[in-house]
Structures are given as structure tokens and as C-alpha cells.
Amino acid sequence: MLVHIPNVLTSEEIAYCRKTLEKSQWVDGKVTAGDQSVKAKFNLQIPQESAESQELGEIILQALGRNPTFNSAVLPLRVFPPLFNRYDEGMCFHTHVDNAIRHLPGTGFRIRTDVSSTLFLSGMDEYDGGELIVQDTYGVQKIRCPAGDMVIYPSTSLHSVEKVTRGSRWASFFWSQSMVADDTQRTLLYQFDQSIMDVRKQLPDDHSAVLGLTATYHNLLRQWAVL
């Protein structure tokens, strides 16, 4: 399931992130690449352990916490601390699949990468090229989003970032371990939840149809969730 989530960050948060990133140190993006990706990755990142990365990561995590679409579509159990990348002119990321397991920095814990997220921090007029290409069950999706918007997609998907031909494309990226590992089940729950919200706009919360649908949703989540 690929979902575009608009306005994850406010305009003030976008401006603060950009101002902070402009003052940050940028390093070769291969530092977080796996064995396969290291041969395909040509971009820049700010160091994962830097104060800027941790501060901006907290801003994004707070934004995710208040976003109902992200929580409905991802059903997050754990979220990897957000990272930040930059594609200047000529940079790209060839087709690859994300590592299945990531070590949470500074802990002994690991995270299974079920859902990948890209949060755009550059305006669409600031660069040409740089499209996120995701190969999913509906074919090849070519994605460009306004600053502050985010796209989520299964981490099992082959994906790439096309070469930037003008300007610079900045973004945050991270992974989530979902309470529901199976993408098909997660998609059904998301669609079910969206339908419940539509019904609640037309019927009172104590209507038997609303109660029945909500109960079925939670019973399915109870059956499929692994904590």
C-alpha cells in the first residue's frame, strides 16, 4: 500500500528544519547503506548521531504522533529515528530494497522495517528530477510531493530516486515496524478504518452500525497484531 499524506509538517516546522539543515555537516550517504545499497547510493546525509539529526527527528516524531493518517495506515509499533538526506545535481539512488532489519542506535534493540517513509523538505520548484520511483502491486509509481508532505510504502518494494538535474532535493526518511507485519492485512485495516470514519460523519457514534463496524475493526486488529 502506497499512501500520500499531505501536510505532515507545518510551514513553520519546514522552515525550521531547512534552516537547521543548512547549518549542518553533510557526509556521504553510504554511511547508512547496506551491502547492496552501498553500490547504488549517491547522496549526502547529516550524521545520524548529530545534535541536529536528533533534534529534527524529535520534531518529526511529534508530527507523526498527531497525524491520524500515518497512525491508521502504518499502525506503528516502533519508528526508527528519522534520518535526513540531500540529492544535489547529478545525485541519485539506483533501484534497491531496504534492509529488513535495522539496529536502533544507542540501544540493544532491532527494528523490522515494514513501512518506508519519505518526508519531503524541498519545494517542488527547487529542483528537477529526483522523483521517488516505487514498484508496487499497481505498477511503477513516480512520486514528487510538496515540502511537508510524506509518502509511505511497503519496505519490501523495489524503489529508487532518479537523478537530480537541477537544484537540490532534501528529505527525511525512516522506517516503521508495524503492529501488523503483513501489508495486505494492514491495507485492509486502513481501508476499513477510513470507511468507519466516513460512516461516523453520517451517523452518531452510538449507532448500531458504527458500534458493529468499530468492534469488527478492533477484533481484526486484535487477531493480526503482534506486540
Binding residue positions for Fe cation: 96, 98, 159
Cell of 185: 492485512
| Binding-site residue ranges | 96, 98, 159, 169
Q: Which residue has the cell 509511505?
A: 152
Q: Rounded to 5 degrees, what angle do the CA atoms 66, 6, 2 make?
A: 100
Provide the 8-state DSSP code for 37.
Answer: G
Residues 6 or more apart whose CB falls under 8 angstroms from that of 19 comprise none
Q: Are 60 and 172 in contact (CB under 8 A)?
A: yes
What one-letter code names the amino acid at 1? M
| Binding-site residue ranges for 2-oxoglutarate | 169
d(CA 74, CA 193): 12
Cell of 11: 510551514
Residues 6 or more apart whose CB falls under 8 angstroms from that of 182 comprise 224
d(CA 99, CA 102): 7
The gap from C-alpha 150 to its chain's centroid, in whole angstroms, comes to: 6
Q: Are 149 and 8 in contact (CB under 8 A)?
A: yes
